[in-house]
Amino acid sequence: MSQEDLAHECNVDRSYISMIEVGRNEPSVSKIFDLCKGLNIKPSDFFKLIEVEYEKVRESE
């Protein structure tokens, strides 16, 4: 899915999606729910993915 497609699904600008991807913006919980809806995943699955990435960062420190 492109940034443009996701932005359209979430009713946000493509630049907002880009800023989230590069870490220049941190979405609110309600926006995370919108992103999950746009990605067609459950918020719990989203947070599981975040947890995996968090563990990778911790292990590399």
- Residues written for the chain: 61
Q: Whole-model pTM?
A: 0.80
Q: What is the DSSP letter of 24?
A: S
Query: What is the C-alpha to C-alpha distance for residues 2 and 58, in angstroms, rounded to an integer?
Result: 29
pLDDT at 45: 96
* pLDDT tens per residue across all 61 residues of the chain: 999 999 999 999 999 999 999 999 999 999 999 999 999 999 999 999 999 999 999 999 8
Tally Cβ neighbours within 10 Å of residue 17: 23
Distance CA 7, CA 49 (A): 20
**pLDDT at residue 52, rounded to an integer:** 95
Is domain 3-60 in CATH 1.10.3720.10, yes or no?
no
Compute the distance between CA of residue 28 and CA of residue 31 in angstroms, rounded to an integer: 5
